[in-house]
Chains A and B, each alone.
Chain A
Amino acid sequence: MKYIRAFKDKSARQIMLGIAFFSLLLLLVIGVSLLLKALPIMKEKSLWALLSSGNWKPFKGEFGFLPYIISTLYVSLIAIIIALPLSLLSGIYLCTYASKTISRIFEPVIDLLSGIPPVIYGVWGTLTIVPLIANKIAPRYVEFSSGFSVLAGGLVLAIMILPLLISILLEVFRSLPKEITDASLSLGATKWQTVKKVMLRKSFPGIIAATVLSVSRAFGETIAVLMVCGNIPIIPHSLFDACYPLPALIANNYGEMLSMPNYESALMFGAFLLFIIIVIFNAISRLTLNQIEKRFSL
Chain B
Amino acid sequence: MNNPGLAFVSDVFEDYHNKTILMKLPSYHTISIRNLNVYIENQHILQDINLTIPEKSITCIIGPSGCGKSTLLRTLNRMHDDTPEVKINGQVIVDDEDIYGVNVNVIDVRKKMGLLAQRPCPLPMSIFDNVAYGPRIHGLKKRKAINQTVIQYLQYVGLWDEVRGRVRNSASKLSIGQQQRLCLARGLAIEPEYILGDEATSALDPISTKKIEEMFVKLKEQYTIILVTHTLRQAKRIADYIVFMYLGKIIESGSTEEFFNNPKKQLTRDYLSGSFS
Contacts and interface: CB of A to CB of B under 8 A. Distances in A.
A179 B119 contact: yes
A237 interface: no
Interface residues of A, number: 22
B134 interface: yes
Contacts of B77: 186
B133 interface: yes
B183 A183 contact: yes
A112 B148 CA distance: 53
A197 B133 contact: yes
B84 interface: yes
Interface stretch (A6-14, A121-129, A188-196): A188-196
A184 B79 CA distance: 11
B138 interface: yes
Contact of A185 (B84, B110, B170, B186): B110
Nearest to A190: B107
B123 interface: yes
Given A99-B84, A179-B119, A183-B117, A188 B107 contact: yes
Contact of A187 (B124, B172, B186): B186
Given A188-B110, A297-B173, A179 B121 contact: yes
A93 to B, nearest CB: 14
A296 B183 contact: no
A179 B117 contact: yes
Contact of A201 (B79, B107, B111, B125): B125
Contact of B124 (A100, A182, A193, A198): A198
A94 to B, nearest CB: 14
Query: Interface SS of chain A: helix, strand, loop or mixed?
Result: helix
Contacts of B123: 180, 183-184, 197-198
Contacts of A186: 77, 79, 110, 113, 115, 117, 187
B183 A202 contact: no
Query: Interface SS of chain B: helix, strand, loop or mixed?
Result: mixed
Interface string B163-195: 000000010110000000001001100100000
Nearest to B117: A179
Interface residues of B, number: 27
Contacts of B134: 187-188
A1 B200 CA distance: 48
Contacts of A197: 123, 125, 133, 137
B84 A188 contact: no
A190 B108 CA distance: 11
A100 to B, nearest CB: 7
Given A197-B133, A297-B172, A188 B121 contact: no
Contacts of A198: 123-124
Contact of B121 (A99, A180, A189): A180
Interface string B103-129: 000011011010101010101110000
Interface in B78-109: 79, 82, 84, 107-108
Given A186-B79, A188-B107, A201 B133 contact: no
A183 B187 CA distance: 9
B185 to A, nearest CB: 12
Contacts of B170: 296-297
B113 to A, nearest CB: 7
B76 to A, nearest CB: 11
A298 interface: yes
Nearest to B172: A297
Interface in A246-298: 296-298
A297 B127 CA distance: 12
A188 to B, nearest CB: 4
Contacts of A182: 79, 117, 121
Interface of A: 99-100, 177, 179-180, 182-190, 193, 197-198, 201-202, 296-298
Task: Give 8 closest A-B pairs by Cβ, nearest first.
Answer: A188-B111, A186-B115, A297-B170, A188-B110, A179-B121, A202-B124, A187-B134, A183-B121
7 contacts: A180-B123, A183-B117, A187-B110, A188-B111, A197-B123, A198-B123, A296-B124
